[in-house]
Amino acid sequence: MATSGHSISNVRLSRGRVMAAIVTLTLAVSAGVIGATPADASDARCTTNNRIDCGMVYNTSGSAVRIATNFSPTYGDVVGTVSGVTATLPGNRSSDIFKDSNGRLYDWDAVYVPPKSCLYMMAGPGFGSTVDYRNTRSHGVWYKINNLGANVRALRSC
């Protein structure tokens, strides 16, 4: 019997790589579609009333966290100032509890980390990226949240 020079394990590995490439491509296309119309960091409200197009924040920690709209980078890409709406999001709640007078959701762009505190969250498509903000300063700092939102998992002293 003629063989192609590939063992069965190599064929399986190749199929695994093909599947990994397909999954990666599917996720990239999905992220591109979801991110095609990102929320505007200069507008406090969402353009649509759904969670996909907005910087929704889920706070699954037991601690309240401050969130804000309209982030402007001042100390690099992820540390800056905010303008617009700010709110305190209680623990174990989502930011969809806050709406404007027309019932539209807000586009949350930043989270506040108090002095000498660490904030751990999941962000990005499917909340698949781990973010650990360590504020070692003697003053609080606003950190950027991307337009796909975030899930705050912990806020603690560090």
DSSP 100-140: -TTSPBB---EEEE-TTEEEEEEESGGG-EEEEEEE-SSS-
The answer to whether residue 42 sits within a structural domain is no
In terms of pLDDT, which residue wins out, 1 or 139? Answer: 139
81 and 149 both lie in a single domain: yes
80 and 29 both lie in a single domain: no
In terms of pLDDT, which residue wins out, 48 or 19? Answer: 48
pLDDT tens sequence across 122-140 = 988 888 899 999 999 999 9
The answer to whether residue 101 sits within a structural domain is yes
pLDDT tens sequence across 71-96 = 999 988 899 999 989 999 999 999 98
The answer to whether residue 151 sits within a structural domain is yes
- For residue 135, give its domain range: 57-157
63 and 108 both lie in a single domain: yes
Beta strands in the chain (DSSP E): 57-59, 65-68, 71-73, 79-82, 86-89, 93-94, 110-113, 117-123, 129-135, 141-144, 150-157
pTM value is: 0.70
What's the structural domain count of the chain?
2
DSSP three-state, residue 72:
strand
The answer to whether residue 61 sits within a structural domain is yes
State yes or no: pLDDT of 108 exceeds 50.
yes
The answer to whether residue 46 sits within a structural domain is no
State yes or no: pLDDT of 6 exceeds 60.
no
The answer to whether residue 44 sits within a structural domain is no
The answer to whether residue 73 sits within a structural domain is yes
